[in-house]
Amino acid sequence: MEVKEKKEKGQEGVLKRIAGPVVTAVNIDAHMYDVVKVGHEELMGEVIKIQGDETIIQVYEDTSGIRPGEPVTNTGLSLAVELGPGLLTSIYDGIQRPLSVLVDKMGDFIQRGVSAPGLDHQKKWEFRPLVKEGDKVSPGTIIGEVQETNIVHRILIPPNVQGGTVKSIKRGSFTVEEIVCILDSGVELTMMQKWPVRVPRPVLEKMNPTIPLITGQRILDGLFPIAKGGTAAIPGPFGSGKTVTQQQLAKWSDAEIVVYIGCGERGNEMTEVLTEFPELEDPKTGKPLMERTVLIANTSNMPVAAREASVYTGITIAEYFRDMGYDVSLMADSTSRWAEAMREISSRLEEMPGEEGYPAYLAARLSEFYERAGLVRALCGKNGSVSVIGAVSPPGGDFSEPVTQNTLRIVKVFWALDAKLSQRRHFPAINWLNSYSLYLDTLHDWYDKEVSPEWNVLRSWAMEILQKEAELQEIVQLVGSDALPEAEQLTIEIARMIREIFLQQNAYDPVDTFCDMAKQYDMMKAIKGYADLAYAAQMAGVSPAQIISIKSKNDLPQIKFIKDYKPELERIQKSMDSEINTLRSSA
């Protein structure tokens, strides 16, 4: 193979071929994933293939109007994000350009070739050092703090910087570019660091997740929990409630930082997110939820290559906060649009297509993304986590399509949304028969200790009843419910109570929108209490129709909407006892 003399970085190449977002340049010395400037308008692009003298580039902006012969300049740098104070409350596009800055520059429509730094380089932040001159430091050491919204932003030594001894460190008000610390090796540290988005940030140790991410959603916490540092998928057809479910998770999950990626969603849906999120109140602090949120908005009409990059931008920002010792939840809505972007770019590269036209490396890319989740001991010594929850939009609700199937091989929690449930106005429309969680064993001890030793037994009982109901419904449709044995008639009624009282939840009710584990336990225990009384009465000769018709049972659903529910729940339980005992004595 002929080795050519290496050209200097920044030397211009020439455009040879243009195929949508994929262009080919010649006479440019580049490495894989180098960022380049394409054409006279200097559109941002990234090297994705090198073939002899030809360098193939995916462009993050619309390429209409550019022609062969225009210049291409290599920056010599990988696609990287700026990390530091100012990330929280920000709304970015897929390549970390702040939308608020772009609006000020050009109005509502983003023009091509416009760039803006990810962080505000003019704003000053109050820096409080945590190390002093002469202290030994290493990669990941926390050298100081900045109060950013209600979150303390910890300033870290970048993982790729060698440690040493602190030569000097300042206290005061600085921009993210000003030097705040100098090491004896001559390394100058600012409050900002840059990190290539496709490279996972290093950690000391990855640990087994043993604590659930509490979401306040009964079907998730109660039946199919996700661990902090875990992975989950929410596949579902159009209109089944993916976006509302993810917004509920963003608002109520007990993660300290939320990163929300709108990846290829429709413009009207993303508009709803962008207008609603700044108005949402953080239930923990009473302040706007945006104060601990980073939004990445990349709608379906934006350039396809930037959509592919947006997921990496989001996970890198999440890892940065994890490295400070925070629990981060990342919502990717939706990974199907990301996969479609990969498919489009792959076809432009004339690669051999896999199933349904997706590239053969679809599963590998999905794995790389989800594997960046986890509970870790960070370089600073603190424990942090990134929990990744990816929505999947299978065409026509077909869960056998490649993106859903490959995602299921990777993630450990599957929340299957069901269009039929949403049509029946059962929300969250998560199908309890198709969903599962592989974290149940590792979270068993936490539920025993923090909720109740009875909780895991109650959960198993509820799932057993729901599965039994599904079997009985087939018989009911053939011969009617009256043909069932008396005990099975009661099972049908108890399953209905679990569905309507426990699983259904109103995201727009101020009380029912969030349900803590203590209330979930009390609700499930009340339903189990009624079931025990009912089966005992049936054995004593009371007819199922009489047991089902007791009045106090009908008051149970109201518990969901009462904040101080315990007195009312005790009254209902006493009434149920009394009514069923009366039936038994007269039987």
Domain-wise residue ranges, the chain = 12-78, 83-101+204-440, 120-191, 455-586
What are the pLDDT digits (tens) for 431-480?
999 999 999 999 999 999 999 999 999 999 999 999 999 999 888 887 77
For residue 57, the model assigns a pLDDT of: 94
One fold for both 83-101+204-440 and 120-191? Answer: no
Sorting pLDDT into bands at 50, 70 and 90, what band is 9?
very low
Sign of the Cα torsion 489, 491, 496, 501 reads positive
Question: Which residue has tokens 């994705």?
Answer: 48
Percent of the chain past pLDDT 70, that is, above it, reads 97
Is residue 562 within 8 A of residue 568, CB to CB? The reply is: yes
For residue 409, the model assigns a pLDDT of: 94
For residue 386, the model assigns a pLDDT of: 98
**Separation CA 585–CA 329 (nearest Å):** 54
∠ CA 575-577-582, nearest 5°, is 95
**Separation CA 54–CA 24 (nearest Å):** 6
For residue 453, the model assigns a pLDDT of: 96
Judge whether residue 7 has pLDDT over 80: no
For residue 251, the model assigns a pLDDT of: 82
Architecture of the domain whose range is 12-78: Beta Barrel (2.40)
Sorting pLDDT into bands at 50, 70 and 90, what band is 298?
confident
Look up the pTM and report it: 0.91
∠ CA 429-435-439, nearest 5°, is 125
Judge whether residue 67 has pLDDT over 80: yes
For residue 122, the model assigns a pLDDT of: 94
Architecture of the domain whose range is 83-101+204-440: 3-Layer(aba) Sandwich (3.40)
For residue 5, the model assigns a pLDDT of: 34
For residue 11, the model assigns a pLDDT of: 61
**Separation CA 584–CA 587 (nearest Å):** 5
Sorting pLDDT into bands at 50, 70 and 90, what band is 8?
very low
For residue 482, the model assigns a pLDDT of: 73
3-state DSSP call for residue 506? coil
At 93, list the tokens.
């596009």
**Separation CA 45–CA 37 (nearest Å):** 6
What are the pLDDT digits (tens) for 359-410?
999 999 999 999 999 999 999 999 999 999 999 988 888 889 999 999 999 9
**Separation CA 460–CA 438 (nearest Å):** 14
176 half-sphere exposure, CB direction, 13 A CA radius: 21
For residue 247, the model assigns a pLDDT of: 81
455-586 is a CATH 1.10.1140.10 domain: yes
For residue 288, the model assigns a pLDDT of: 80
Is residue 56 within 8 A of residue 100, CB to CB? The reply is: no
Judge whether residue 255 has pLDDT over 50: yes
Percent of the chain past pLDDT 90, that is, above it, reads 70
Taking residues 98-114, report their average pLDDT.
Answer: 76
Is residue 367 within 8 A of residue 410, CB to CB? The reply is: yes
CB-based contacts of 478, cutoff 8 Å, min separation 6: none
Fold of 120-191: OB fold (Dihydrolipoamide Acetyltransferase, E2P) (2.40.50)
Is residue 375 within 8 A of residue 229, CB to CB? The reply is: yes
Among 214-218, 372-376, 422-426, the range scoring the smallest mean pLDDT is 422-426
Average pLDDT value over all residues in the chain: 90
For residue 587, the model assigns a pLDDT of: 67
Taking residues 222-251, report their average pLDDT.
Answer: 89
Judge whether residue 120 has pLDDT over 60: yes
For residue 227, the model assigns a pLDDT of: 97
What are the pLDDT digits (tens) for 153-179?
999 999 999 889 999 999 999 999 999
